[in-house]
């Protein structure tokens, strides 16, 4: 079997601001394999987002302490990189999309500006090449009228459209790993399905492994190969999705999955 794309060893995250430093992620370890869609599930507050932010190196050092034996991306340890090195890796080899795309998009620039700047900065494209690449990327995430989207400011787009622009930006450099943190929770059910379809299809096309954070066991069943179940900062179960639904090992997993009627029963 091929080596994992991302390998996390004993990652802990603690809040420095509380009186007693409190660990919100405790000694978790897991692998993300090539081409895999790996779910991270668990109730609100269990540490999913903090795990993602720690891997990306996005947690401010004055507020949070991150400890890990290794955060290996393609064999090189991100935990040992200085901020400058991390900046080179972020967006290019590993990227992240967030729950609410309005906060991640800059309100004063058009979608086209923001997308094109990625092609110019990370991939050395000229202005007109970057424009061309941006149009292609937007059609890959399902836009028909790409010219119009390029000219739009974030507030002029619907939630689903904004999230698709975010996917286009995150996937522009064909990263090895995409971390998608509840990318569709803010969207209606139909749009949710379209966005997840596009996301996972593009992942396959580009050979990008996906860490998909979700509350929704239905999303796990439909889109993921394997799942990590988190409870209070720890991983309590790591299983492929078929086994997870057929033979959940942990009580908590059983309760979590019971919320999707019919899946895995019988
Ligand atoms: N800015 C913050 N300041 C203090 N504590 C925080 C902060 N952000 C998160 N926490 C704490 O860290 C823990 C983990 O938070 P995290 O955001 O990773 O949870 P989550 O699993 O992503 O939840 P959700 O499903 O609601 O997004 C929570 O218990 C929360 O109380
Ligand atoms: Mg979260």
DSSP state of 60: -
The pLDDT tens digits for 165-216 are: 999 999 999 999 999 999 988 888 888 999 999 999 999 999 999 999 998 9
Q: Which residue lies with its CA nearest to atom 19 of ligand 1?
A: 45
In this predicted structure, the answer to whether residue 265 has a pLDDT above a threshold of 60 is: no
For ligand 2, the distance from its centroid to the CA atom of residue 214, given in whole angstroms, is 8
In this predicted structure, the answer to whether residue 266 has a pLDDT above a threshold of 50 is: no
φ, ψ at 231 (rounded to 5°):
-140, 120
The pLDDT tens digits for 107-166 are: 999 999 999 999 999 889 999 999 999 999 999 999 999 999 999 999 999 989 999 999
Q: What is the pLDDT of residue 94?
A: 97
- Report d(CA 162, CA 181) in Å as an integer: 15
CATH, domain range 6-257: 3.40.50.300
Which ligand 1 atom sits nearest the alpha carbon of residue 43? Answer: 25
- Report d(CA 73, CA 89) in Å as an integer: 9
Q: Which residue lies with its CA nearest to atom 18 of ligand 1?
A: 47
47 pocket-lining for ligand 1 (C-beta < 6 Å): yes
In this predicted structure, the answer to whether residue 21 has a pLDDT above a threshold of 60 is: yes
Domain extent listing, the chain:
6-257
């Amino acid at each position: 079997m091929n080596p994992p794309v991302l390998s996390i060893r004993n990652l802990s995250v603690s809040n420095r601001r509380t009186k007693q430093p409190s660990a919100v992620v405790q000694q978790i370890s897991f692998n993300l394999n090539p081409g895999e869609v790996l779910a991270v599930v668990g109730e609100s507050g269990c540490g999913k987002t903090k795990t993602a932010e720690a891997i990306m190196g996005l947690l401010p050092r004055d507020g949070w302490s991150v400890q890990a034996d290794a955060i290996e991306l393609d064999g090189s340890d991100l935990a040992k990189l200085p901020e400058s090195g991390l900046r080179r890796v972020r967006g290019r080899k590993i990227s992240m999309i967030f729950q609410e795309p309005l906060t991640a998009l800059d309100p004063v620039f058009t979608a086209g500006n923001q997308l094109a700047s990625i092609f110019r900065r990370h991939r050395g494209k000229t202005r007109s090449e970057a424009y061309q690449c941006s149009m292609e990327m937007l059609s890959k995430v399902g836009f028909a009228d790409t010219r119009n989207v390029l000219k739009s400011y974030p507030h002029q787009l619907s939630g689903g459209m904004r999230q698709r622009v975010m996917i286009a930006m995150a996937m522009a450099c064909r990263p090895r790993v995409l971390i998608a943190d509840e990318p569709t929770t803010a969207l209606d059910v139909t749009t949710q399905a379209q966005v997840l379809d596009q996301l996972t299809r593009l992942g396959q096309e580009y050979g990008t492994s996906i860490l998909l954070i979700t509350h929704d066991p239905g999303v796990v069943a439909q889109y993921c190969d394997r799942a990590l179940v988190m409870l209070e900062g720890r991983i309590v179960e790591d299983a492929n999705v078929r086994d997870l639904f057929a033979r959940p090992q942990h009580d908590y997993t059983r309760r979590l999955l019971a919320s999707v009627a019919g899946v895995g029963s019988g």
